[in-house]
Structure 1
Amino acid sequence: MDDDDFSADAALFARLRAVWQEVDPVPADLVDRMVAAVAVEDLSREYAMLTLVEGSSLAAVRGETDTATLQFSDGETSVLLHVTATEDGGRRIDGWVDAETLAIRLVQDDRDWAAEAGEHGRFAFDSIPSGVSRLRIVVRGADGDLHDFQTPRFEV
């Protein structure tokens, strides 16, 4: 192909673009609507309901009190966490999940820790450094299928 062919193609595409912009213009709010649609697409996973059961804020774990209790639920699975400051400056996280679990991981940036659920769904993490964390759990649903449950990020 030579430059004349490219010029002819470019001119044709420019005319087609002009026709479509006149006949069917892009809605002014399309970008905002698409950003909102992408943000809420996986709402049940990313924004599982977070309820602070005990204490006034997440910062309380690091502040004046040494404990906080957090509850997470996506409507099918619920998790209760009790975070306690330890003598060495770390955190102990005791948790309970109300579903059959296959894997439990606590994630902070590029670090993660594994735990196994015992009887009644109880699990624990010892000597966790303070920081923004997320809990990831693989559960077997009532339908028998495996589901990934993730909490929103929280501060320990």
Structure 2
Amino acid sequence: MSRDDLPYPEAGLLLTHFLTVADVARSRAFYSDVLGGEVVLAENPCIVKLANGWIIMNPGGGPTPDKPDVTLRPPTDPNTVSSFLNIRVADIEECHRRWSAKGAEFLTPPLDRKAELRCYLRDPDGYLIEVGQATGMQKGVFADPPAGNN
């Protein structure tokens, strides 16, 4: 492992995504073996470099001095989501085939949403992951606004 593999910006900022996981080894295997990330630190915290970003994973826990009223835990209801990981790919059909063959379970196959082709899968803790390929957006075609927001 080299310093270049770790999420340390030399200037400005760098965005990473932290996941509270029930089983670090299981989640590490999913993000590296299924999605193709590179494990750059196995534990405490686990860091997986995925394309041009990093997923940081640790088990949950109670409050700490820097977050005195916050408890971390994996999702408890997979059908209620307040955020999700969004992955952009160049070829969604190929990605869907490759990741499915490695054990990823998608909610649906890729669907045409006008602005993009997209589908969703879950990681071992139930975190929702959107996989999308811009299609219409490249031509100025964007998604319809959510119902009630016209």
Q: Which TM-score bucket, shorter chain as reference?
A: under 0.3
The structure with more helix, counted as a fraction of residues? 1
The structure with more strand, counted as a fraction of residues? 1
Larger Rg: 1
Structure-1-length-normalised TM-score: 0.23
Structure-2-length-normalised TM-score: 0.24
